[in-house]
Chains A and B, each alone.
Chain A
Amino acid sequence: MKFSFSDEQQEFRSVVRRFLEDKSPTTAVRRLMETDKGYDPEVWQSLGQELGLTAVHIPEAYGGQGFGVSELAIASEEMGRTLLCAPFFGSTVLAATAILKAGSEEQKKALLPGIASGETIAALAIAEDSGLWDAAGVAMTAKPDGGKYRLDGAKSFVVDGHNAELIVVVARKGGSAGNDGVSFFTVKADAKGLDRRLLPSMDPTRKLARLTFGGVEAELLGQEGAAAAPLAATLDVAAICLAHEMVGGAERLREDAIAFANQRYQFGRPIASFQSLKHKAADMLLEVELAKSAAYYAAAAADEGDAEVSALASLAKAAASEAYMQTAIHAVQIHGGIGFTWDNDTHLWFKRAKSSEVFLGGADHHRERYMQSIGA
Chain B
Amino acid sequence: MSQYDADSVRKDVRQWLEANWDTSLGLVEWRNKLIDSGWGEPHWPKQWYGRELPVGLVPVVDEEMERIGAVGVARMGIRSLAAATILAHGTDLHKQKFLRRILTGEDTWCQLFSEPGSGSDLAGALTRAERRGNKWIVNGQKVWNTSAHKADWGLLLARTNMDLVKHKGLAYFIINMRQPGVEAVPLKQMNGHASFNQVFFTDAEVEPEMMLLDDGDGWKVATTTLMHERRGADGLRRYPKPSGRPERIYQEEDAEIASALAPYTWYPQRMGRVDLILERARQTGKIADPVTRQEIAKVLIMSRSADWTARRARVAQEMGRSQGPEGSLGKLAASYIARAANRVHTTISGADAMLTGPDSTMGGVIAEILISTPAISIAGGTDEIQKNIISERVLDMPKEPRNDTDRPFRDVPKNAERK
Name A's B-contacting residues (CB within 8 A): 2-4, 258, 261-262, 269-270, 272-275, 277-279, 281-283, 285-286, 289-294, 296-297, 315, 318-319, 364, 367-368, 370-371, 374, 376
Contact = CB atoms under 8 A, between A and B. Distances in A.
15 contacts: A3-B315, A258-B397, A270-B398, A272-B397, A273-B399, A279-B388, A281-B390, A281-B395, A286-B329, A294-B304, A296-B308, A315-B304, A319-B301, A367-B294, A374-B300
Nearest to A2: B315
B306 A262 contact: no
Contacts of B305: 290-291, 293-294, 315, 319
A275 B312 contact: no
Nearest to B56: A3
A128 to B, nearest CB: 24
Given A262-B397, A290-B306, A275 B388 contact: yes
Contacts of A294: 301, 304-305, 308
A291 B301 CA distance: 9
B293 A371 contact: yes
B375 interface: no
Contacts of A4: 312, 315-316, 319, 321
Given A282-B332, A294-B301, A368-B290, A289 B326 contact: yes
A290 B297 contact: no
A262 B400 CA distance: 13
Given A293-B309, A319-B301, 17 more contacts: A3-B314, A269-B401, A282-B387, A282-B391, A286-B333, A289-B325, A289-B329, A290-B302, A290-B306, A290-B333, A294-B304, A315-B301, A315-B305, A318-B301, A367-B294, A367-B301, A376-B281
Contacts of A297: 308
Contacts of B401: 269, 273
A3 B386 contact: no
Contacts of B304: 294, 315
Contact of B388 (A270, A278, A289, A368): A278
B308 A368 contact: no
A289 B390 CA distance: 13
Q: Which one of B305, B316, B326 has the greatest number of beta carbons of chain A within 10 Å?
A: B305
A367 B299 CA distance: 10
Contact of A285 (B278, B302, B325, B392): B325
Contacts of B319: 4
B287 interface: yes
Contacts of B95: none
Nearest to A364: B294
Interface in B347-405: 384, 386-388, 390-392, 394-395, 397-401
Contacts of B297: 318, 367-368, 370-371
Q: Classify chain B's interface size.
A: 35 or more
Nearest to B305: A290
B298 interface: yes
B61 interface: no
Interface of B: 278, 281, 287, 290, 293-294, 296-298, 300-302, 304-306, 308-309, 311-312, 314-316, 319, 321, 325-326, 329, 332-333, 336, 384, 386-388, 390-392, 394-395, 397-401
Contacts of A318: 297, 301
Contacts of A367: 293-294, 297-298, 301
B397 A281 contact: yes
A278 B301 contact: no
Q: Which one of A290, A319, A364, A376 has the greatest number of beta carbons of chain B within 10 Å?
A: A290
Given A2-B315, A4-B319, A376 B390 contact: no
A281 B391 contact: yes
A273 B309 contact: no
A2 B319 CA distance: 12
Nearest to B282: A376
Nearest to A375: B278
B392 A289 contact: no
Nearest to B290: A368
A142 to B, nearest CB: 33
B294 A285 contact: no
B296 A371 contact: yes
Given A290-B305, A368-B297, A285 B394 contact: yes
A323 to B, nearest CB: 9
B310 to A, nearest CB: 9
The 9 closest A-B pairs by CB, nearest first: A278-B391, A367-B297, A290-B305, A282-B387, A293-B308, A282-B390, A273-B398, A293-B309, A3-B315
B395 A258 contact: yes
B398 to A, nearest CB: 4
A274 B400 CA distance: 7
B309 A368 contact: no
Contacts of B290: 368
A273 B392 CA distance: 9
Contacts of B397: 258, 261-262, 272-273, 277-278, 281
A285 B321 contact: no
Given A4-B321, A272-B398, A376-B278, A278 B333 contact: no
A364 B296 CA distance: 12
B249 to A, nearest CB: 34
